[in-house]
Amino acid sequence: MLRHERFTIDADVTPRFTACYLRVAGDECAFVEAHTAHALPRLLAALSAQGKKPEQVRWVVVTHAHLDHAAGASALLAACPNATLLAHPRAAKNLIDPEKLVQGATAVYGAARFAELYGKLDPIPKARVRTLDDGETFPLGDAQLRAIYTYGHAFHHFVVDDPALDTVYTGDTFGLVYPALQGRGRFALPSTSPTGFHAEEANKSLDRVLALGRRFVCLTHYDTCEDGAAIAAQVRRLVDRAGAWVEDASRGSETMAAIQTRLMTAWRDAILEEAPRFGAEELSLLALDIELNAQGLAFAADALRSERAKRLSG
């Protein structure tokens, strides 16, 4: 039997915010998540530290196409000549032709800031991409890993089940568990960033992952945890709140900007209810996530409002 191991790679310039995972099975390797092009030296250094070469990387797996998970995939594949990208069909489409991803992010950040955040995002040749259906497996050495679709954060998201290591790589399904916020008790925040938040699907996805019964949950934000049920319970409480906020906002006439502003306050209040020990330092650490979470809920509310209006007019 081959030796099976996994290693956490701190991929972000902000320490312990974004993880990629190196999975080793004998002489074969896989990366789960690719972060951005700036992370490439760290990923290759982790590979070298285990005595492995880029030519031994068989798979690069991304849980979804959001840029903090997948923007580095093209650079990583270029460095690993025998690797194939594994992705959800919708994610694969956007990584084969990333023009919309680049344009959308550039419109938000500007070209210079985009390059600073994500580096260069090149198209990935279709021949080097394999899409995975829900429940489909792929081999690594003598192990079989499996993609399990988990919507709610994004409609092109899956987790990766790894029975050989009693592990599931959860992407953003289990939210954000930043180590800097765990000093006085567990704190997990769901990620409701644009544009695919759906509360009911997010809760179904938590159930799907918990039903696997794995000992370890490996989050992209951040690292390996053994208390998956406790994390899921806290994420679910906040997902339920977020779903109620979306429903309420969808029945009003506020602009998306007004919804976002109001829900940023709602998120801060909810965080302080879950973690009353938090102060200005913790809220500052979560400032960007609060903004993105409110933006995602405003988008979801507007989409639900538009859908309802279409049904009534039809």
- Residue 60 pLDDT: 98
Q: Is the pLDDT of residue 1 over 80?
A: no
- Residue 184 pLDDT: 84
The domain spans of the chain are 1-87+89-131, 232-313
Contact indicator for 76, 36 with CB cutoff of 8 Å: no
- Residue 95 pLDDT: 97
Instruction: Determine how many CB atoms are found less than 10 A away from the CB of residue 279.
Output: 10
- Mean pLDDT in residue range 139-147: 98
Q: Is the pLDDT of residue 241 over 70?
A: yes
The SS3 of residue 38 is helix
Between CA 290 and CA 227 the distance in angstroms is: 24
Least Cα distance to 226 among 189, 271, 177 occurs for: 177
- Residue 312 pLDDT: 83
Could you tell me what percent of the chain has a pLDDT over 70?
Answer: 100
- Residue 215 pLDDT: 98
Mean pLDDT over all residues of the chain?
96
Between CA 199 and CA 210 the distance in angstroms is: 17
pTM, entire model: 0.96
- Residue 310 pLDDT: 84
- Top pLDDT among 218 and 111 is at 218
For 35-88, how does the pLDDT look when each residue is reduced to its tens digit (9 = 90+)?
999 999 999 999 999 999 999 999 999 999 999 999 999 999 999 999 999 999
Q: How confident is the model at residue 107 (pLDDT cuts 50, 70, 90)?
A: confident
- Residue 113 pLDDT: 87
Torsion from C-alpha of 88, 267, 294, 261, nearest 10 degrees = 180
Q: How many residues does the chain have?
A: 314
For 179-222, how does the pLDDT look when each residue is reduced to its tens digit (9 = 90+)?
999 998 999 999 999 999 999 999 999 999 999 999 999 999 99
Q: In the CATH scheme, what is the code of domain 1-87+89-131?
A: 3.60.15.10
Peptide bond into 137 cis (omega under 30): no
Q: Is the pLDDT of residue 314 over 80?
A: no
Instruction: Output DSSP code: residue 62.
Output: -
What residues pair up with 217 in beta bridges, in sequence order?
A: 168, 225
Task: State whether the Cα torsion 222-197-239-285 is positive or negative.
Answer: positive
Q: What angle do CA 177, 183, 186 make, to 5 degrees?
A: 45
Q: How confident is the model at residue 110 (pLDDT cuts 50, 70, 90)?
A: confident
Between CA 300 and CA 176 the distance in angstroms is: 20
Crossing angle of helices 287-313 and 228-250, rounded to 10°? 50
